[in-house]
Homo-oligomer: A and B are copies of this chain.
Amino acid sequence: MPQEYQEPGALICDLARSFYDLGWVSGTGGGICLRDGDRVVVAPSGVQKERMRPEQMFAIGLDGALLARPDDPALRPSECSALFLKAINLRGAGAVIHSHSIHAVMATLLFDAEFSVSHLEMIKGISGHAYGDRLVVPIIENTARECDLAEALGEAIVAWPRTHAVLVRRHGAYIWGADWIAAKTHAECYDYLFRAAVEMRRAGIPTVMQGGTDDASVSTGRAGTANRT
Residues of A within 8 A of B (CB): 1-4, 26-29, 44, 47-48, 51, 53, 56, 72, 74-75, 100, 102, 105-106, 109-110, 119-122, 124-125, 130-132, 142-144, 168, 170-172, 181, 184-186, 188-189, 192, 195-196, 199-203, 205, 213
Specify how many copies of this chain sit in the oligomer.
4
Q: A48-B184, A102-B195, A110-B203 are in contact. Are A121 and B168 (CB under 8 A)?
A: yes
Q: Are B110 and A172 in contact (CB under 8 A)?
A: no
Q: Are B192 and A100 in contact (CB under 8 A)?
A: yes
Q: Are A170 and B119 in contact (CB under 8 A)?
A: yes
Q: Are B106 and A120 in contact (CB under 8 A)?
A: no
With a cutoff of 8 Å between Cβ atoms, the chain B residues found around residue A168 in the complex are: 121
Q: Are A75 and B2 in contact (CB under 8 A)?
A: yes
